[in-house]
Amino acid sequence: MIPFLDMKSVYTELKPELDAAYARVMESGWFVLGKEVEAFEQEYAAFCGTRHCVGLGNGLEALELTLRAWNIGPGDEVIVPSNTYIATWLAVTASGATVVPVEPTPAGPNIDPDRIAAAITPRTRAIMPVHLYGEPADMDAVMRLADKHGLKVVEDVAQAQGAKVRGRRTGSLGHAGAHSFFPTKNIGAFGDGGAVTTDDAAVADRLRTMRNYGSKVKYVNIERGYNSRLDELHAAFLRVRLRKLDEWNERRRAVAARYADRLAGIAGLGLPRVPQWAEPVWHLYVVRTPRRTGLMEALNAEGIGSLIHYPIPPHRQQAYADLGLPEGAYPLAEDLANTVLSLPMGPHVALDSVDEIAAAVRRYMLRSGAE
């Protein structure tokens, strides 16, 4: 049996350090906005290469509060990928702004800068590129457009902590980076968590106020804020995970390289293509095939887990039925939704398992291709 995801090994491998972090926080008697969050914020900002980091409740609110910190809301337009997890869109619509979806590059999975220019209107305020699957979006091109049109850029880094574009970390490439520490992400807490990284001191300061009821001084509320705080316990765990992030991403790279080698040259199977300027962190390893249903069943029959990220693009979700975007509105996103399949990926996937998975994929693709 090869599960899609092995979360237990995270604890097994880091048990002494995580148990010590737990004891430290429990014995401190301080659980919200304290020393652990402060220390993690400093360490994570240094890791990403930004001046500031603000710990928040989750990734969705990291995206939404960043827009609100820029006073983006009703009447404003924000450019988002048509091909993304729905949280990207939800952050924009929660702020009251309008989503303007843009299709991915033909190679996928990320937003196509060549198509962004055509989507910019006088109402456009921001671009929200997503580094989907841990594969960085073309940030150089996005930032050139943003500079030219005076737009803000918030990167959705939820799936790409530690990835690089030309040697610089995701989360430091736009005006702000929104991170999720959901347990399954490359650096995850053991519950919900999030953060914003930025060089902009004013935005960091505003986010610190917003996350805490709009208050800097206890019981003095300077704006109508939120409760969106990273907990001390999670921050203490994240400090342990952060020390391992590069090493664990390296292990993901080895798994991805093994897949690329073992899955090469299979007819009807598309593999991820990495641009020469990008250093992905392989949150997911996503292949493409029109024979996805059969492949999934064949893998399942051999005890190999796989998942679809994501089966329904945001514009086809009932949640956005009111936008009236019909089937065919974003054909590239729809085609990806119909053909992508995520194979087991993570720092605890053995290379022998990759060989087994790849052999099973090859057997099914040969068999079904001959039919």
Ligand X SMILES: *Cc1c(COP(=O)(O)O)cnc(C)c1O
Least distance between ligand X and beta carbon 281 (Å): 13
The residue with its CB nearest to ligand X is 59
Least distance between ligand X and beta carbon 129 (Å): 11
Least distance between ligand X and beta carbon 84 (Å): 6
Q: Are strands 98-102 and 164-165 parallel, antiparallel or unpaired?
A: unpaired
Short-list 263, 271, 259, CA closest to 339: 271
Using DSSP, state whether 18 is helix, strand or coil: helix
Q: Is 282 one of the binding residues for ligand X (CB under 6 A)? A: no
Least distance between ligand X and beta carbon 48 (Å): 17
Of positions 50, 58, 110, 209, contacts ligand X by CB under 6 A? 58
Which range binds ligand X by CB under 6 A, 39-47, 85-93, 221-229, 321-329? Answer: 85-93
- Select 23 or 319, whichever has its Cβ closest to ligand X: 319
Residue the block writes with tokens 């993690």: 40
Residues within window 303-362 making contact with ligand X, judged by CB under 6 A: none
Q: Is 130 one of the binding residues for ligand X (CB under 6 A)? A: yes
CA separation, residue 286 to residues 9, 203, 207, 269, 344 (Å):
22, 35, 34, 11, 9
> In the stretch 147-186, what mask flags binding to ligand X with x, by CB under 6 A?
---------x-xx--------------------x-x----
Cα-Cα-Cα-Cα dihedral sign, residues 239, 255, 11, 14: negative
Q: Are strands 124-127 and 98-102 parallel, antiparallel or unpaired?
A: unpaired
Residue the block writes with tokens 């924000």: 78
- Select 153 or 263, whichever has its Cβ closest to ligand X: 153
Least distance between ligand X and beta carbon 139 (Å): 15
- Burial class for 131, CB neighbours closer than 10 Å (0-12, 13-18, 19+): buried
CA–CA distance, 129 with 117 (Å, rounded to integer)? 14
Structure tokens, 38: 């402060």
- Select 82 or 84, whichever has its Cβ closest to ligand X: 84
Least distance between ligand X and beta carbon 159 (Å): 5
CA–CA distance, 194 with 206 (Å, rounded to integer)? 16
Q: Is 194 one of the binding residues for ligand X (CB under 6 A)? A: yes
Residue the block writes with tokens 């009821």: 213
- Select 154 or 360, whichever has its Cβ closest to ligand X: 154
Residues within window 61-80 making contact with ligand X, judged by CB under 6 A: none
CA–CA distance, 351 with 307 (Å, rounded to integer)? 19
Q: Is 59 one of the binding residues for ligand X (CB under 6 A)? A: yes
What one-letter code names the amino acid at 295? L
Least distance between ligand X and beta carbon 326 (Å): 24
Which range binds ligand X by CB under 6 A, 41-49, 54-62, 71-79, 94-102? Answer: 54-62
Least distance between ligand X and beta carbon 184 (Å): 8
| Size of site (CB under 6 A) for ligand X | 15
Of positions 21, 45, 53, 60, contacts ligand X by CB under 6 A? 60
Using DSSP, state whether 318 is helix, strand or coil: helix
Least distance between ligand X and beta carbon 196 (Å): 12
CA–CA distance, 62 with 56 (Å, rounded to integer)? 6
Q: Is 87 one of the binding residues for ligand X (CB under 6 A)? A: yes
Short-list 236, 256, 241, 218, CA closest to 343: 256
CA–CA distance, 348 with 355 (Å, rounded to integer)? 14
User: Which residues of the shown chain bind ligand X in the complex (CB under 6 A)?
Assistant: 58-60, 84-85, 87-88, 130, 156, 158-159, 180, 182, 192, 194
